[in-house]
Structure 1
């Protein structure tokens, strides 16, 4: 294993992006390292010098000798990193948890502010970075669950955490969505109960994963209340995607129409939060749904509308739309052209901004 591979593996073990690794080094050593320079290390475009080797050793908790010598670095990762790095991470989490218990933890207002920040960050950051940060928050909030109102905070954090796992594995994502639903029920807040279930339904339905579970969450959300809300909107479109993937066109179209009526009442003005569904995001839902149904004209129209209003700060969603176009091409019979179009779109997006949903969509297009 070369040093570039080792740096990448150690970085990913922590769930850090290349930018996060650069920031950690800059903060500790007051340097001006860039993400591009870290990328160069990993691609062996250039080698870290002695100064940065020491910095990497400290920041990544890896012996300097491993970075400097030609030892079998893969053996180090499997035999040493599992024993040396995991306890460091666990120690930090345990410390955070006990500190929260002893101090009483953040206030409800502080948690709501954190959730708002995560809602915005999720739209542009990679899954690994979000997963590591939210796991720490979950350790803290579980120390405060003697305060009933914080069950709603925990439920929303669990939902976000679940979204960092691929739904197709059938275990981790679904497990966390179910935990989130139970936590939401503990809150006694119907708005949270509907939102958590609706967000799980649209995540699984959009990804084309665990369709039966997506239906269950959607049906539960729709049974709690018929009052228009973003949670209900997510639930309806999650169920619509599940129907489309099963080939039930009539049900999918009917649900899409129902969802549009809910949006007219409950749609968001907020443009850049995972907790929001503005008009451009509604059309991202519709774009993929109609592409799956083979409605090329409708899908293209939804893509045009979404692109017109999509904030420039959210390039990942532009990639979604380009990949929907790739799916349309494959469904029209141009399988190689559709796959090439989608692969090109995904390759144009910086790797650290990739999401598990995009990777699963690529799998669907190739299949």
Structure 2
């Protein structure tokens, strides 16, 4: 994506005019930027220099690497070579990839079964284990991308892989979400295009990271299709969380109500997959959202609803709910008590089951 288009999209995602963007930059950094200069950026007549890129990164709440092109300019294959091979032994991965190409590779049906397995495993395994395993799968599936159905598989695998990096890291998580969205577009499958963007939006919104990117991906998902789907539920709830983190309570509540109506149409019966949104998981989304906007009564109701149906095999999500209570305590004024409550909940969960999202949530409670 050209830098001008990216700046425009990020600005509009926040509901800002060009004048508002100029005002925010000048207020934060004491510069003499003009609206005409921003207009020239957005029309791609001028490319922002390094200093202005840092200013844009700060006021638009987007990683600097995103503005420097890591999302828009890498290809799928170079992304795999640059980051997927790193966690595991490169020679083994390359061997597996070429062997798959020579054999013709697994069938689309096999890949769908593999995705279902990863969707379940993600809910209980640690990020490092999932990262290593999915990296290997990505190197294999990249050998089969002459089949459009495999672009859909690759897009969903990349979305899962992106979640093993913290959104606050910026470059890796956001780069992979962007690559997954482009891969989904190559598949031509509307549901995949919406789901990949929606899943990225809820991941970033829930983490409270890269909010500008979360908004753009959510808006793209909603523009692709307004047909009720799990991807659209994720997109709407992701955008609700970005509003909550920014302190826009009215927008957060309005979007959450929309998300609940969509959920009523398409909520999942599957209980233990990252590709599903059952009733308990919808309430986990709502629990944190309501804690963030300060509606303690409804937040507690959502927590109780989630606990009633949360499978015992998923203790990590019970920890999420306890940490939401810690956040509520901190927001009510008892910062030390809230942090202690959340830390105790995290300590009760075996370290092997910790996720990056939980660590980021702990940081939110502390601050």
**For the pair shown, which has the larger CA radius of gyration, 1 or 2?**
1
- Cα deviation for residue 323 of structure 1 reads 0.2
Secondary structure in 2 matching 1:253: helix
Change (3 A) 1:147 1:209: same
Change (3 A) 1:148 1:242: same
- Cα deviation for residue 87 of structure 1 reads 11
Residue 106 of structure 2 is matched in structure 1 by 106
2:87–2:135 Cα contact (<8 Å) kept: no
Residue 338 of structure 1 is matched in structure 2 by 338
Work out the CA distance in 2 between the residues paired with 1:90 and 1:226. 42
Runs of 4 or more above 4 Å deviation = 85-88
Asked if 1:276 corresponds to 2:312, the answer is: no
Residue 179 of structure 2 is matched in structure 1 by 179
Asked if 1:199 corresponds to 2:199, the answer is: yes
Work out the CA distance in 2 between the residues paired with 1:90 and 1:294. 48
Alignment of 1:126-205 (within 5 A): 126-205=126-205
Work out the CA distance in 2 between the residues paired with 1:262 and 1:87. 38
Work out the CA distance in 2 between the residues paired with 1:96 and 1:208. 37
Residue 314 of structure 1 is matched in structure 2 by 314
The structure whose RCO (Cα within 8 Å, separation 6+) is larger is 2
Alignment of 1:16-55 (within 5 A): none
Residue 228 of structure 1 is matched in structure 2 by 228
Change (3 A) 1:96 1:262: same
Secondary structure in 2 matching 1:277: coil
Work out the CA distance in 2 between the residues paired with 1:88 and 1:142. 17
Residue 51 of structure 2 is matched in structure 1 by none
Aligned length: 283
Work out the CA distance in 1 between the residues paired with 2:106 and 2:347. 40
Work out the CA distance in 2 between the residues paired with 1:147 and 1:354. 36
- Cα deviation for residue 149 of structure 1 reads 1.1
- Cα deviation for residue 86 of structure 1 reads 7.0
Alignment of 1:9-88 (within 5 A): none
Contiguous gaps of at least 5 residues in structure 2: 1-84
Residue 72 of structure 1 is matched in structure 2 by none
Work out the CA distance in 1 between the residues paired with 2:245 and 2:333. 17
Secondary structure in 1 matching 2:148: coil
Secondary structure in 1 matching 2:168: helix
Per-residue deviation, residues 268-318 of structure 1 (Å, max 9, x unmatched) = 000000000000000000000000001110100000000011000000000
- Cα deviation for residue 148 of structure 1 reads 1.2
